A and B are shown apart, each in its own frame.
Chain A
Amino acid sequence: MFVLFICLPCCGQAPIYTAWKNYTVADGIPDEKVLCVAVDGDRVWAGTRNGVVLLENGKMIRVFKTEDGLANNAVTAIAIDRVTDDVWMATLGGLSRYSGGEFRNYTSLESGLANDIVYSVAIQNEYVWAATAAGISRLDTHTGEWSMYDDENLPGPASPADSIAVTKSKIYFGSWGGGVLEYDIATEHWNSYSPSDVSAETRAHPPVRGPLSAFITGISYDGNTLWASSRFGLSSYDGRWWRRVAPPAEKLASIAVNTVRSDAHGVWVCSDAGLLYLDRSTGAWVVYRTDPQSYGVIAWTRPGAKLEKVKAATGLASNEVLDIASSNQSVWVATASGLSHGTRLCTSAKCMSQQSSYVPTAAQSHFEKQSGAPRTETISAQDTVNIGILSPADNSPESIYGMSMLQGAQLAIEEANADGGFAAGSKNRKPFALRIHTDSPLWGASTTEIVKMTNDEHVFGVLGSVDGASSHTMLKVASILDVPIVNSATSDPDITSTGLPWVLHNFPDNRNEAHALARYAVANLGSKRIGVLCMKTRDSIAAVHEFAKIAARLGPARIVETRFERGDKDFSPQLRKLADAEVDVVLLWGEPRQAALILKQMRAIGMQQPVLGPSRAGDASLIQSAGVAAEGLVVASAINPASTNLRWQEFTINYRRRFSAIPDAYACYGYDGAKLLISAIQKAGLDRRAIRDALREYANKDYLGANGASHFNAELNNISPVVLARVEGGRFVYWHPAGNSSRH
């Protein structure tokens, strides 16, 4: 039995919550992971991965799920319209409006909502703002009109939105990859704050100092200061300056912040390592953690003062804190293991006595052992161990990559099953099964596929995808639903830069390629003026930016950049611009079909400069389409198909036997990715968090794949150098460039 050791000192106006009551699955919460919480007077709404629960005066009133009208069981954010009392819920299947005991849903197929993956929702008078995986949507509830804000009309790179903070004159959005966006209500003008000039657009202007990371996990405004959180820490913005806000390191084991919420006196920081409160006026910090042995730990300090700690009889349900909502005398905390209700310090002896005599329930004392794996009955009901795959195998410009990736994964699954499947030789033996989902861009449909995989097919891991935006959405959703991801196909370099621990990326990203190509252009070709033709996609723009940075570092090379849309056929304006600039080499960052057209149009107008391209362009179909115009083209390649490595030879034979085709890089890494995931499942068992942890063991280690060794950095990104290939006589000739080391 623990007691409060000492009388807690005053930490400015920072409230101290010493009595905690935890609501867990044992109490009727529909899922152990509580994603969000909102307080409405005596009522508390808590969104979980498996429905939303309503409490009134501390008692559970009801759980709402899809069968009750909710758009999707995974509820990521809740906003209460204080004027109408309507409750708006952001879900992984659309936006739900709860009014008068009934739900009305808004989805991308049935309304103007940009995307069904909704991360946050906020109310501004008659407007409802929704942060989605495809940008920001605004509903005018009076007229029914939807407005969309995305890469077409937002400053900075295309980014999904994550969180929203409404002030009297401005609305702030935390974006996923684009920093903080600011909307001026009066002028309807947008501004952005980013930690660096992450795109070519911002490069044209002086860099704007911004938050710590471009991947914002939470945003809040307290009337004076804007607070923005990321997995790399907390930032504040006073209207003029951005600052990093960092408590002393010893108070936090991790600075991975899941969200931030401000109140009248300070700011709550929800992190992977506990709940923190910063008193704005005094700079005092209070940290709430739960020690599995001692139940509650409260630590506090003020500037210049030592850290002090006390143990409390009760504590948070989990140190992984996801959201918080405060009311007058208490706070409600969403954690990975339940909903916690903290009440403020009381000073009477009787009150203290009651607190110290609190006995945790069995559910509370075992919270640390809970994980995000599917419920037991679900697992036992399955005949297979399911692995999801999201690939653009059909009806997509990226099908040529998606099909290879899918076939590579299929081969790995079949080989694993031939070896006995999951838990071979034991009574729990089950075959692996690949649950195939198409990454189709139509109406943003693919974004919800991972939700279906998790909820309906109970997958233990997911492979995919090729497209950078899809891959980011998958990762974000995976972190909500607790699903490990192995990405074997995207070249987006940011996929492991978000701070979310749920992804292993084994495909060399296009920063690796940009590095190899920049070195080749500057060091080997001696280029001084480099022309760039870049397809307008998130990862292409990021790659070209990386290329420009490296080229500038390696030698004084001037970059002249033009862009084109996917689907364009006439590139004469862009080529004319490059010709006028008298560039001595051209970097062509696009896909095979358009790259072939560009090459032909270049040569037709007499541009004979050397052309470089990414691995995406390095497909045989390019040579076929471009013909002689392709001669001399140099592309990066994630693999060396001419390798004499025995593993590669064996893989090639097996792949050709199974699919009557020669494997390419996507097949190779798809095969490797599936084997990595299978290996983690075999090792960790049917527990998704344990599988994630097993994958994380590859950090800073090598992995011997089908085409050779891959090296994963601390973020689980494959930073192995790429090879280069030149078109000679209608075929690619590969070589390992000298001095090509990874960016890390």
Chain B
Amino acid sequence: MSHPLHRNSRTKLSKTLCRIITRAAARADVFAALLAVFASAGLLLVCRSVAFAYRAQQGYLTPVEIKISARGQTLYIVCEDDDSLLAVDLRSGRAIRKVQVGHRPKDVAISPDGKTLYVSNEWSDTVTELDEGSFTVRRILHTGWGPIGLTTDRNGRTLYVANSISDDVSVIDLARGLEIKRLAAWRSPHYVALSRNGERVYVSNLLPHPELPDQPPVSELTVIDTARQVVKERIRIPGAIELRHIAEAPGASGGYLLLPLLRPKNLNPLVQVAQGWFVTHGLAVIRPEGGPVEIKRAKVDELLLDDIDRYYAGANGVAFTPDGRYALITSAEAKVVSIVDTDKMLRLLQSGERDELPNRLDSAQHFVAGRLATGANPTSVVVSPDGRFAYVANRLEDTISVVDIAGRRIASTIDLGGPRELTQIRRGERLFHDASYCFQGQFACATCHPDDHIDGLAWNLETPQLGRDRMMNRTLRGIAETAPYKWNGRNPDLQTQCGPRTARFIFHSEGFNHDELEDLVAFVKAIPLAPNRHLRPDGRLTPAQERGRELFFQKGCNGCHTPETHYTAKISADVGTAARYDTSGLFDIPQLDRIYQRAPYLHSGQALSLEEIWTRFNVADKHAVTSDMTKRELNDLVEFLKSL
């Protein structure tokens, strides 16, 4: 069995681009012609000034998401670093189209009639509506903050968009092009899926519910009733975080949902990494129920994709074959796509060991039919309508792996034309997403820092006094100039933070060599901050923020949170926040940039909101004298902090 696009498709691609140039010139389609010129020169990228400048300058496409047309003729590929959408015609294997969209596109939805495409632009807070025929922009739709996953309803009248920053779902009336309502999701909603019967939209939330740091995490799948356009149910998924893509099995196969997830053991000391079974990766199998949610709740099972001595980190994309017999799941940090025999999986769930499965490492062997190596960072997968092929977007390789499902093999690889040369930052980014550096491949840097950010958990680090010093995960966004690192402030630079220390105490492996470490550090330093949504477009502060700013200086907050250095004095301080099992009260003063995206707060994650930092955890007035503040003043201070 062979696929229309073979492994060495680059030559054919060049020929195709030449044809595009000719056709485009004939139609005086200047944009397409220019695009093709760049592409034929190996620069399949139209550089533009974007906030994510370093990535754009590198010229990579970074295909983060992939969808396939209803008839299986076209692949639509969202290129995150290129601010573009690509179309690959699978029938002929000859045509590639491209259109520029907003900043940092993340997902694409296809209208039911296939004539319209919708691309979410995470950093523009918009959706680009495209005409599929001309592959041109039709209009821009405005959403909440940080749109990622999106889908239309069954008749194409309504668009649902998951807003990862504002933690809600925009419901957009497509006839008017207007957002008509916002439905509350939970934390960092990422991907959405329309149920096969069109009655529900499922929304996965990447981050767990904000719980106390000594509690196991609970994540949520938000269910929207499309008839009434309201939240119908919030399905709790215990012990899990980082819910990603969602796939629904055909009705004949059970109609259940599959969601890749991560099951962390963050309450255990990190030393247990060496014993395995610390960070595990798996699936939620969910069977939604009808009727009032107050009476019937969805049934949730979890099982692991990992084997006893090998882990498949970064479970991310998922897709069923048309008959529901198999499901394909990408493990982004293990660079693997697993083929799950769903019949066997369901039989296992019906066994008496069902309750143990979320923690059984010996179960995957019973239902995983095959594991295939992909390119770097496979994030998304789709299956052709005939069920013969699956297509995997290799995000950090600018390629698509074509999976021959029946043959259990990678049939070919589609090269999307990104630069062949790997820059230092790109090498570092691959390392960041590579779990092979960890003992038995349990996790990569990206596992606990999804989207280069946080996982919302406090971890029980490996310290001399084992079991103590539970520390909140810290963001990696915008940290280049915020040294020292780590909550105890003992790592003077990122080389120390990410080098032997990480190898010994976190990965429990040999870690990165010198060159790799430099590459990784270069990448981490290049991770930018997201745009601040709490600032007015003109950058002026609101009256409340202005009042809060005055308080910030009046209370002397700027003494430790120095504005000139990202609101950190780069030293440690004891502000009376030591928890019961902390061995020291001195903690690194955190930078405050985009603090509103980093809940929970304080070193231990005790403060579930910014307000709690002062209302609950500043009883001795050591974190500035705040007990004389009125509630109004505290609200103003919080509003100012959100503006940073």
Residues of A within 8 A of B (CB): 54, 56, 61-62, 83-86, 97, 99-102, 104, 108-112, 114-115, 126, 134, 141-148, 150, 152, 442-444
Contact = CB atoms under 8 A, between A and B. Distances in A.
Contacts of A100: 222-223, 231-234, 293
B514 interface: no
27 contacts: A56-B292, A61-B295, A62-B294, A83-B181, A84-B183, A85-B230, A86-B230, A99-B184, A99-B234, A100-B222, A100-B232, A101-B234, A104-B184, A108-B615, A110-B609, A112-B635, A126-B182, A142-B144, A143-B533, A143-B534, A144-B596, A145-B534, A148-B632, A152-B632, A443-B615, A443-B634, A444-B631
Main SS at interface, chain B: mixed
A84 B295 contact: no
B166 A101 contact: no
Nearest to A132: B631
Main SS at interface, chain A: loop
A61 B231 contact: no
B627 A110 contact: no
B203 to A, nearest CB: 10
Contacts of A102: 220, 234, 236
A84 B181 contact: yes
Nearest to A56: B292
Nearest to B293: A101
Contacts of B596: 144
Contacts of B616: 109
Given A100-B234, A134-B631, 19 more contacts: A61-B294, A62-B295, A85-B228, A85-B230, A100-B222, A101-B297, A102-B234, A109-B612, A110-B609, A112-B611, A112-B635, A112-B638, A114-B631, A126-B182, A142-B144, A142-B168, A145-B544, A152-B632, A443-B634
Contact of A109 (B223, B232, B544, B611): B611
Interface string B262-304: 0000000000000000000000000000001111010000000
Interface in B205-262: 220, 222-223, 228, 230-234, 236
Contacts of A152: 632
Interface string B539-573: 00000100000000000000000000000000000
Contacts of B234: 99-102
Contacts of B534: 143, 145
Interface string B477-517: 00000000000000000000000000000000000000000
Contact of B182 (A84, A114, A134): A84
B107 interface: no
Contacts of A142: 144, 166, 168, 182
B80 interface: no
A248 B237 CA distance: 60
Contacts of A83: 180-181
B373 interface: no
A61 B295 CA distance: 7
Nearest to A62: B294
Contacts of B297: 101
User: Which of A84, A86, A442 has the most C-beta atoms of chain B within 10 angstroms of its own C-beta?
Assistant: A84
Interface in B166-222: 166, 168, 180-184, 220, 222
B639 A141 contact: no
Contact of B231 (A86, A111, A143, A444): A86
B547 to A, nearest CB: 11
A372 B292 CA distance: 33
Given A61-B292, A62-B295, A86-B231, A145 B639 contact: yes
A331 to B, nearest CB: 23
Contacts of B642: 145
B586 interface: no
Contacts of A86: 184, 230-231
Contact of B635 (A62, A101, A148): A148
A56 B611 CA distance: 38
Interface of B: 144, 166, 168, 180-184, 220, 222-223, 228, 230-234, 236, 292-295, 297, 533-534, 544, 596, 608-609, 611-612, 615-616, 627, 631-632, 634-635, 638-639, 642
A110 B608 contact: yes
A85 to B, nearest CB: 4
A96 to B, nearest CB: 13
B406 to A, nearest CB: 40
Contact of B631 (A84, A85, A101, A115): A115
Contact of A101 (B294, B533, B627, B638): B294
9 A-B pairs with the lowest CB-CB distances in the bound complex, closest first? A85-B230, A101-B293, A100-B231, A100-B234, A109-B615, A102-B234, A112-B635, A62-B294, A83-B181
B279 to A, nearest CB: 27
Nearest to A109: B615
A61 B596 CA distance: 38
B223 A442 contact: no
Given A84-B182, A147-B544, A110 B631 contact: no
User: Which of A109, A114, A150 has the most C-beta atoms of chain B within 10 angstroms of its own C-beta?
Assistant: A109
Contacts of B292: 56, 61
Contacts of A145: 534, 544, 639, 642
Nearest to B166: A142
A237 to B, nearest CB: 29
A110 B182 contact: no
A716 B639 CA distance: 45
A141 B231 CA distance: 15
Contacts of A146: 635
A142 B533 CA distance: 11
Contact of A54 (B230, B294, B609): B294
Contacts of A442: 627
Contacts of B236: 102
A572 to B, nearest CB: 23
User: Which of A61, A101, A115 has the most C-beta atoms of chain B within 10 angstroms of its own C-beta?
Assistant: A101
Contacts of B632: 114, 148, 150, 152
A152 B616 CA distance: 25
Contacts of A62: 294-295
B601 to A, nearest CB: 11
A131 to B, nearest CB: 15
Contacts of A443: 615, 631, 634
A56 B291 CA distance: 12
A148 B632 CA distance: 7
A83 B168 CA distance: 14
B397 to A, nearest CB: 38
A127 B565 CA distance: 36
Nearest to B545: A145
Contact of B611 (A84, A104, A110, A143): A110
User: Which of B228, B292, B615 has the most C-beta atoms of chain A within 10 angstroms of its own C-beta?
Assistant: B615
A83 B230 CA distance: 8
Contacts of A101: 233-234, 293-294, 297
Contacts of A110: 608-609, 611-612, 615
A56 B292 CA distance: 10
A130 to B, nearest CB: 13
Contact of B230 (A84, A112, A144): A84
A98 B180 CA distance: 21
Contacts of B544: 145, 147
A59 to B, nearest CB: 11
Nearest to B232: A100
A85 B224 CA distance: 11
Contacts of A126: 182
A108 B223 contact: no
A141 B615 contact: no
Contacts of B608: 110
Contacts of A56: 292
B291 to A, nearest CB: 10
Nearest to A114: B631
A441 B228 CA distance: 44
Nearest to A441: B630
B36 to A, nearest CB: 41
B182 A141 contact: yes
Nearest to A106: B609
